[in-house]
Every structure is written in structure tokens, then in C-alpha cells.
Amino acid sequence: MLNKRVLRGNFVPFVILICGFLLFVSHPLTAQHDPESLTAVALQSLTTTNSRVPLTLPDAPEQILSSLAPATVQSHTLINLDDFRADARFSGIDGTGVAVVVIDTGIDLDDPFFGPDNDNDNVSDRIVYHYDFADGDGNATDINGHGSNVTSIAVSSDATYTGMAPGVDIIHLKVFKNNGSGNFGYVESALKWVVANAEAYNIVSVNMSIVDSQNHKSTKKLHGISDEINALRNTLGVMVVSASGNLFYNYGSAQGVSYPAADANSLSIGAVYDSDFGPYNYGLMNAFTTGPDRITPFSQRHQTLTSLLAPGAEIVGAGPGDALVAQHGTSQASPHVAGIVALMQQLALQELDRLLTPDEIDSLLVTTGAVVKDGDDEDDNVTNTGLNFRRVDVFAIGEAILAMVPETVPPVVTAVNSNEDSGDGELTDGEITNASITELMVIFNEAMNNPSGHSGNDDVTNPGNYLLVEAGSNGAVDTAVCSSPTGDDTAVTINSVSYSATNKRSTLSLNGNSQLGEGVYGLFACDTLEDLSGNRLDGNANSVAGTDFMTQFAVDQTGPEISLVGIGGDADASNGVMIEPVRQLSITFSETMNNPSGDSEANDVTNPALYSLIGAGANGVLETALCGTIQSDDVAISVNSINYNDTNNKATINVNGGSNLDADNYRFELCGSGILTDDAGNFLNDGEADFSFTFEVLMPESYELFLPIVLK
């Protein structure tokens, strides 16, 4: 341990009003920014208020009695940071590569807690920037000690009193004068600096253990800093973390938090004890007994404004000069979370190859936190709320981030559709469709790579990652891989590709927006396509990456016709004469008809309702109009069932209950030109005319008297 003396208790609280005018603070900002950068956008959203509202530290509850030695690292055990650091999966996660900003009373610049001073400039090497916005100079030396303590909790690299993120870059912005005075105008200037430099320094969190000493019961925008806090979170993705305040007892145990903790874009952090220290007496406020996860009696809290709890008593850290100090307060709870955010972002960069969004950080902090009920075991002289709050758990956060890592299973194509499908919602492999296709939709099972402004081989919107070919005269797709057409196949132009990340769907615009003609087609999605994790397409859906996807379909827009009428088996009756016995008719279609298995839809070729057989009756004259209501002495003959053979496209119609037809004139009708379809969805006779066939049934002995009847 370094030669430091330990100070018991807390810093002396100060609230000093700023009288007179606020001096303009001159300080370095950043290099010139690209006007399109996030930094430039964020800066354009800011206004300058120069608020003179007095700034205070959270009123530190003065410790009157404690019988225990200084606390060391109990908070690490309570929040499972020890387990996090002992787990090989999180090895090296210490905040390296990102920066944390602390806005406070200053920092002990040459304290070994903040790294060695290898360049002998009297500033610890991990402090990459510091500035005094209260006095307008480049020396953020801490006279009070509060800022050093708070900073060490977040970032100390001391072997014993290790902070949350001991490898993080440290930025300290001083907003109090050495005499203890400060105002929110100084904070506004400091936050403007953070906005201007967040991208340059890889800043991921800002800690503000400072308050306006109020007890707000709803979200607020106060003291000229709300626009900066909003820009940091919602434009730059920087988390702002603030102490909830220490005045719960003073406000009569009324729910509420101080500001900036009450800002909707800041986390509000309350305090719990991290161990059993025995009783604590804070003047009129008492904790009669203490224990881990008991909310401290001073911690301000609110059912919706309090974001999270963290250890805030008793915490040992750096103090003024060579001192160590043991402190109690939400000031000590807040930097725990600011440092943990740095761990989260380093782990996310390592495992997810990106930073977490503020909303993701909010969710991870809260959903993984341990439940702490206010009033179940607290033993103090405040009125507990009975509410449940969440206390931060670093190990659980780490595991939750690992659970966000995308699986390495390669992406597959789950469906292909057209802009005008036949009604089944999917263009299946081998389907024959009559759709007027000008677009094809390729649907994936996960989000695909779609870099903005890029059209490389891995981009889902690059037309070169798809191929559509039309079979030639042989009627078969010869092309086998997603390259150039082979055999007599020809390529169909893919004009452009758009992509919906929501639906995971690529839409291919085809053929200059002219519909595909009749023919057989093969669609390829190439193995160069990648998901967001860089896994190449698994075209065969066999968990092997780097294979093309291919599906075939045919476009048929010509309606079927009836080419042959027969008696029963194969007897040709196209001459209009049928010889007894007749109890079956047969018709042969020019192409395969719609015949859904196990179904009898209206357009099903086996639906008896589509067929009609009419006998002429005693007068021998058919008087009923085509597909009309039975007239005069015409007789309706029952159509009992239809059998269909899709090999020869022949339908066999069973009539008259299996009994032979009497000698008479008959008309067989297929009343479904606007209903019956082939398997591509085209209507019989293109929907223009029903089919009818007139014939005469003769007795065998009368056959020699037969005169041909013309097919109508």
C-alpha cells in the first residue's frame, strides 16, 4: 500500500452561492469536425444558458459513530465484480480502449491510483485530459477531495482499492473553485466539452455526483444542462450517470431525487450498504444496524425516477493529497455504475463488434440487477417506501452481454415469393404459376449484411449476388451454380435490389419491370451473401456455409382446354355416338389441372358441382340452355364422382348412380370456365367459354342405323 493516511468519515459538505456574473470559460475544445459527423449534429442542438444556480455536492451524511476499521473492497463482492474478474470469459475486461468522464471538484493529478507517471509531468498517465471550468485553466487539481474519491471508485488501478474499470482512460472536469463554490453554468461548459470530444476520446460515460439539493418527483429539464445531457445520450450514445442525492431523511422520507438525477436522460443512482458495519449515526439520522443490500437511510429514492442502486457506504478511495478516505453517499454509488458502463462497452466491442445503445445499457443494468426491497430488513429511523429496486450485478451483466452474441449458424433462405403470386403466399420450388411476375422476394431467416452506401460482394442489395435464368428450348434449367448461365439458359436482368431489415426480405426488380413470359426459370441467391456476423449463406439449409441457394418455377399463362371426350376407359366418342352400356364419361385436358390433395375446392377438377349431364327426355330435343335451368321434359342426370389422373390429365366422370344411360340425346357440360383452373391458376378456356359436348346413346342393335352427329 502506498504511503497514504486514512481519513474517516466524509468530506465537509459545502453549498456556496455564486454572486455576481459568470465569467466566460476559455478552454480547448477539439479539432475541426466533419459537418455531417454525430459530433457536429450534437453541437448544433445545444444552447448556452450560463445558469448561476448554485451547484452542490450531495450533502454528505456526517458519520458520528463507527466501531469498525476502514472498509476495503466489500462492494466488489456485493456486486459480483470479484466473480466477473475471476471468470476467464471476461479476462482483460477492465475498460481499456474507452474513456470515462468525471465532473466534480477535481482530481489528485499525480495519484498512483490513476496510473504511473512515466513521462514525469506530474500527471498520472491514465489521465488523458483535465480542465478546471470554474477557474478557466488547465489545472483540475482537487483541493476538497470529493472528486478524487469519486473518480477512484470508477477507475482506480490500485491493487487493493481497485475501481470498477482500472484500465479506462480518465477525464476529469473540475466545476468547483478551490473555495468550494460552483454553479450549473460551469457544468454546462463541461458538458459542452464532453459533447465536442466524446467521439475523439471514445467517451462512454459521464459521472456527476453533484446535485441541486432538491427532491424532484418527476423528470425535469433544469439549470441549462438538459440539452447537453440529451445530446450525449441520444445523439452520441454516452451514458450520463448521476447521484440521486442524500436528503431522504431531510425531506421527511418523501419520494424524489435531486437534479441532474431527475433528468430523463440521466441514470439516477441510489445507495446501499455493501456490508455489515454495525450502527451508523448521521446526526439525527440513524442506521441502527447495517448489512449488505440495505438501502442507506440518506439515499433519495423514487418509484420511477430511481434507475438503480449501487454500493454507497462505506467506500474507501482516494482523497486529497496522499490521503485515503472512507465515505458514505450516493456520490459513491454513482461512479460504480459509470465505471461498469465502461466494462460493458469494452465487452460489447469485443463480443458484439459494436457498442451497446443507451437503451440496451438501461435494460441490461436493470433486468440483471438483484432485487432490493426497501423496508424488508432496513433498520433505521426513516419511513421506508416498501418498493422494490434493482441493485447492479456485474457478473450477471457480463453473462447477459455474452448471450447477445449472434449464433454462428449461417443464414438460409426460408421462402421465395413474387409480387403477384397465385394465392398461396409462396413461390415454392417446382411451382407452375400464372402470376404476372415483375419482382421476386427472397426471404432470409435472419438479418443480412446491408452496409450503408456499400454494394460489395457481401451486401444483400447488390444485384450481383443473385441470378435469374430462363431455360431454353429444352425446357430445363441447365445452370447449376450462381455464375454465368450455361447450356441454352439465358439470364434475366435484375435491375435493382431493395432490402427490408424488418422483414429480412430482399426485393428483386426484374426485366425492366416487364413481366416474365411463359417459361421455366431458375433463381439463385449466391453464397457470397452474409449475415450481420459475417456468416455466408447456407443455400442447402444443411448448416454448411458458403453454398448457393437455387429454386425453380415455371410461368404458364395459357388456360387449359379439353382435347378428347370418351366413354369410360379410353373409347373415343368424338363422333358424338356412344353405344350402351354408358355409365362413365371421360375428358382429357391439354395440361395438368388443379387437384389439391384431400380437398374439394371450387376450382378442383374433381369437384362434381362443376359438371352437368342433361338428357333430352321423351321428345328427343334438348331444350335447356347451356349450363342453365332444366327446361321442358329435359332430365338432369346425376354426376356422382370424378377421378383424375395427372399423368395423362384425364378426368373420369361417374354418372347416373352407376346405371347405364338410356338411349337418348344428351349434353355433357363443364360449367366452370371462370372457376376450374390448371395448376398454374389459369382458367379453363381462359375463362371465356364453358365446355359442352352433345352425344347420342344408341342401343347396340340400332347402331347400324347410326348417322354421325356433329360435335358442337
Range from 99-108, 276-285, 446-455, 622-631 carrying the lowest mean pLDDT: 446-455
In Å, how far are 99, 389, 411, 456, 459 from 545, measured between CA atoms? 38, 46, 8, 18, 16
- What are the contacts of 401-408 at 24+ separation with CB within 8 A? 401/344, 401/347, 401/348, 401/351, 401/352, 401/356, 401/364, 402/89, 402/347, 402/351, 404/348, 404/351, 404/352, 405/351, 405/352, 406/352, 406/446, 406/531, 406/532, 406/533, 407/533, 408/533, 408/535
Question: What's the whole-number average pLDDT of the chain?
Answer: 87
Q: Bigger pLDDT: 38 or 176? A: 176
Q: What is the pLDDT of residues 420-444, one digit of tens each?
A: 764 456 889 998 888 889 999 999 9
Q: What percent of the chain has pLDDT over 70?
A: 89
Q: Decide if domain 413-555 falls under CATH 3.40.50.450.
A: no
Q: Cell digits for 229?
A: 445531457
In angstroms, the CA 38 to CA 653 distance is 74
pLDDT per residue as tens digits for the range 651-670: 999 999 999 999 999 999 99
Cα radius of gyration (the chain): 41
Claim: this prediction has a pTM higher than 0.75: no
Where does residue 635 rank: exposed (0-12), middle (13-18), buried (19+ CB within 10 A)? middle
Residue 89 has pLDDT above 60, yes or no: yes
Across 470-507, b (16+ Cβ under 10 Å) vs e yields: bbbeeeebebeebeebeeebeebebeebebeeeebbbb
Query: Could you check whether 6-25+35-403 and 562-705 share the same CATH topology?
Result: no
Render 113-128 in DSSP notation, one character per residue: GG---TT-SSS-TTEE
Does residue 59 register a pLDDT over 70?
no
pLDDT in tens, 153-188: 999 999 999 999 999 999 999 999 998 889 999 999
One-letter amino acid for residue 133 of the chain: F
**What pLDDT score was predicted for residue 463?**
94
Q: What is the DSSP letter of 246?
A: S
Residue 593 CA, distance from chain mean position:
44
Q: For the chain, what are the domain ranges?
A: 6-25+35-403, 413-555, 562-705
Mean pLDDT of 453-474: 88
pLDDT band at 564 (very low <50, low <70, confident <90, very high): confident
33: confidence class by pLDDT, cuts 50, 70, 90: low
**pLDDT for the residue 26:** 38
- 3 state DSSP class of 259: coil
Q: Residue range 9-26: average pLDDT?
A: 29
Residue 639 confidence (pLDDT) above 50: yes
CATH number of 6-25+35-403: 3.40.50.200
pLDDT tens-place string over residues 565-586:
887 655 677 777 877 688 899 9
Residue 688 confidence (pLDDT) above 80: yes
Given the candidates 3.40.50.720, 2.60.40.10, 3.40.50.12780, 2.60.40.1220, the CATH classification of the domain at 562-705 is 2.60.40.1220
- Segment 679-694 shows an average pLDDT of 85
Closest CA to 223 of 235, 213, 237, 234: 213
The answer to whether residues 474 and 522 touch, using CB atoms and an 8 Å cutoff, is no
